Amino acid sequence: MTMLDETHDPALRSWVESANDAGTDFPIQNLPFGRFRRAGSGEDFRVGVAIGDQVLDLRAAGLLDDADLKPLMASGPARRRDLRARLSAALREGSAQRDALAKCLVPQAQAEMAVPCTIGDYTDFYTGIHHATAVGKLFRPDNPLLPNYEWVPIGYHGRSSSIVPSGTPVRRPRGQTQPPGAAQPVFGPCQRLDYEVELGFFIGTGNAMGQPVSIDDAEEHLFGVTLFNDWSARDIQAWEYQPLGPFLSKNFGSTISPWVVTLEALAPFRAPLKRPAGHPDPLPHLDSKATRESGSLDIRLETWIQTEAMRKAGQPAVRLATSNAADAAFWTPAQLVAHHTCGGCNLQPGDLFGSGTLSGPSQEQSGSLLELTKGGKEKVKLPNGEERSFLQDGDALELRGVCERPRARRIGFGACAGMIVG
């Protein structure tokens, strides 16, 4: 597990004044990596670091001359930690590098963000036990969790080409559905479009084919964490998912927050693995003392919606639900790495894992409309009088993630936002 060091000191301040604001997601204690260029410039994308409301251009600063994060991911955790330490020293108050680096800052408002790296493979897991239980009850009231859930991290292979950065519009998908009582399916636009609140875990160093990664070494293969919205076409999913799982219901678009918060930045926000009473311990290859004591991440997750009518009326987004990853996840990121490789699968730098929907135990902590509306039966009432069972065209969703604890500096992930278009 990553240890605390001077970069986590909550008293540290930056010469970038906006990084000292109490409400910023990006104080000097965070320093997440992303891929950007100046909006409208046509420049090549390059790697930057978020600091307050600015982006430090690492190419201009002479610190990293890569087009995306994959080379840094592949180089291993020691190089990443060294770069983080150097950035922390260079950006803090009193740094001799202030004048030189100030010329390398770009306002985030003027930056066009991209997916952090070329994503080779994407696996979506199902770690949220409260989500799995709530959804299972909709279809199997007497047996919501299948027997394998408490023994093995469930996942499926997703489509990496349709993962897009925050702010990219998401087009309503079309596909086959089976209307109730109909003799055959019909083809048309999705009528039960949903969101899913997830975390994304980026792989750093890979492993050779046939060489499993042990649970004790698994975190050394993780680079960092993002917010992830796995948009879902529930009606298409219901028709297609048996016997091989989701396909068109998941491959039309997934939104990722553009900033990758490193494991080092998350060190003050580790939490024990919490499992509901009555569940067995994992098998030995998925179990360790470190995983039990601090394998989870204490991240508050929020979902906000602004409908087209709200936008036209000048009304701000409203919060739909909130949950915490540490309370929601049945499996830790390290367990996902150990499981994914236990049969010999070779992970590669830049591979992405989705956590699965991270809902809390109560309905107001739901990470999807499927849960929040109990399968569409109970509509959500918005302050302006509108109601929602599922998403309509013009609805804009934003996921937010924040880490807050006593004696630690608040950090965040930035926006993970997208608008539904017809």
3-state secondary structure of 62: coil
Beta bridge partners of 421: 171
CA distance 302 to 366: 10
DSSP string, 220-279: GGEEEEEEEE--EEHHHHHHH-TTT--STTTTT-EEE-S-BEETTTTGGGEEPPP--TTP
**Residue 9 among known ligand-binding residues:** no
CA distance 401 to 323: 10
Average pLDDT over the chain, rounded to an integer = 97
**Residue 126 among known ligand-binding residues:** yes
CA distance 249 to 240: 8
Residue extent(s) of CATH 3.90.850.10 domains in the chain: 122-421
3-state secondary structure of 141: coil
Residue 16 pLDDT > 80, yes or no?
yes
Q: Give the amino acid at 342.
A: C
212: Cα separation from own chain's centroid: 25
List of residues 6+ apart from 82 with CB closer than 8 A? none
**Residue 241 among known ligand-binding residues:** yes
Q: Helix, strand, coil: what percent of the chain each, to 5?
A: 25, 25, 50
Structure tokens at 138: 């909709």
**Residue 230 among known ligand-binding residues:** yes
Catalytic positions are 131
Give pairs for 377-383: CB < 8 Å, separation 24+: 380/320, 382/305, 382/307, 382/310, 382/318, 383/315, 383/318
Q: Domain 122-421 maps to which CATH number in 3.90.1150.10, 3.90.850.10, 3.40.1280.10, 1.20.1250.30?
A: 3.90.850.10
Specify the pLDDT at position 142: 85
Residue extent(s) of CATH 2.30.30.230 domains in the chain: 6-114
- What is the tens place of the pLDDT at every residue in 155-174? 999 999 999 999 999 999 99
The Cβ-side half-sphere exposure at 64, using a 13 Å CA radius, reads 27
At 141, the pLDDT band (50, 70, 90 cuts) reads confident
- What is the tens place of the pLDDT at every residue in 374-393? 999 999 999 999 999 999 99
Residue 1 pLDDT > 70, yes or no?
no
Structure tokens at 240: 């297609």
Model pTM?
0.97
Structure tokens at 94: 């009193």
151-187 residues labelled b (16+ CB within 10 A) or e (exposed): eebbbbebbbebbbbbbbebebbebebeeeeeeeeee
Q: Could you give phi then psi for residue 220, rounded to 5 degrees?
A: -65, -15
Give me the helices (H) in 319-421, please: 325-328, 333-341, 369-372
Specify the pLDDT at position 120: 92
CA distance 396 to 310: 10
**Residue 124 among known ligand-binding residues:** yes
- What is the tens place of the pLDDT at every residue in 197-240? 999 999 999 999 999 999 999 999 999 999 999 999 999 999 99
Specify the pLDDT at position 178: 94
CA distance 22 to 398: 21
User: What is the arithmetic mean of pLDDT over 251-268?
Assistant: 98
- What is the tens place of the pLDDT at every residue in 65-97? 999 999 999 999 999 999 999 999 999 999 999
- What is the tens place of the pLDDT at every residue in 105-124? 999 999 999 999 999 999 99
Q: Give the amino acid at 391.
A: L
Residue 2 pLDDT > 80, yes or no?
no
CA distance 368 to 250: 14
- Kindly indicate whether the domain formed by 6-114 is annotated with CATH number 2.30.30.230: yes
Cβ contact 414:50 at 8 Å: yes
**Residue 348 among known ligand-binding residues:** no
DSSP string, 177-197: E--TT-SS-EEEE-SSEE--E
Cβ contact 324:333 at 8 Å: no
CA distance 301 to 130: 15
DSSP designation for 43: P
Give me the helices (H) in 270-358, please: 289-294, 308-312, 325-328, 333-341
**Residue 195 among known ligand-binding residues:** no
At 63, the pLDDT band (50, 70, 90 cuts) reads very high
Residue 12 pLDDT > 80, yes or no?
yes
CA distance 48 to 24: 17
User: What is the arithmetic mean of pLDDT over 266-270?
Assistant: 98
Q: Which of 286, 376, 361, 323 is nearest to 198 (CA)?
A: 323
Instruction: Compute, in degrees rounded to 10, the torsion defined by CA atoms 321, 28, 67, 169.
Output: 20
CA distance 56 to 90: 11
Q: Could you give phi then psi for residue 297, rounded to 5 degrees?
A: -120, 125
Exposed, middle or buried by CB within 10 Å (0-12, 13-18, 19+), for 211?
exposed
Structure tokens at 122: 């994407």
CA distance 320 to 300: 14
3-state secondary structure of 228: strand
Number of residues that make up the chain: 422
